[in-house]
Amino acid sequence: MTAPDPTQDWPSPLAEISRLKIDPERVEQDMARLVLGLMEFLRKLMELQAVRRMDAGSLTPEEEERLGLTLMRAEEALHRLAAQFGLQPGDLSLDLGPLGRSV
């Protein structure tokens, strides 16, 4: 048996009761996390739709190239922007309390 990460981020809606989402000492980073998290959520939705269309075989090779390139560059751009605010890709997963995580 092996040990998991002891600080694993188990989802906890109960924590929402006492957690302050925006820290006055790091407003820029917290706001960036919120905005970029929402953008990442939308990008993932578009990726899922693209995957669904790939699985269904409803994309032409040109559409596959254009869609793939757009999603790939959007992901790179989001991660680059996140890095400028000191955020890792995993930080863009927003905790929505009882609704779970955004991505």
What Å distances lie between residue 29 and 25, 35, 99, CA to CA?
A: 9, 10, 23
Smallest separation, CB 103 to other proteins (Å): 7
- Which of the ranges 26-34, 62-70, 78-86 carries the binding residues for other proteins, by CB under 8 A? 62-70
Beta-bridge partners for 101: 95
Does 71 help bind other proteins (rule: CB under 8 A)? yes
Task: For 76, list phi and psi in degrees, rounded to 5.
Answer: -60, -45
Does 13 help bind other proteins (rule: CB under 8 A)? yes
Does 7 help bind other proteins (rule: CB under 8 A)? yes
Does 97 help bind other proteins (rule: CB under 8 A)? yes
Does 30 help bind other proteins (rule: CB under 8 A)? no
Q: What is the CA radius of gyration of the chain?
A: 17
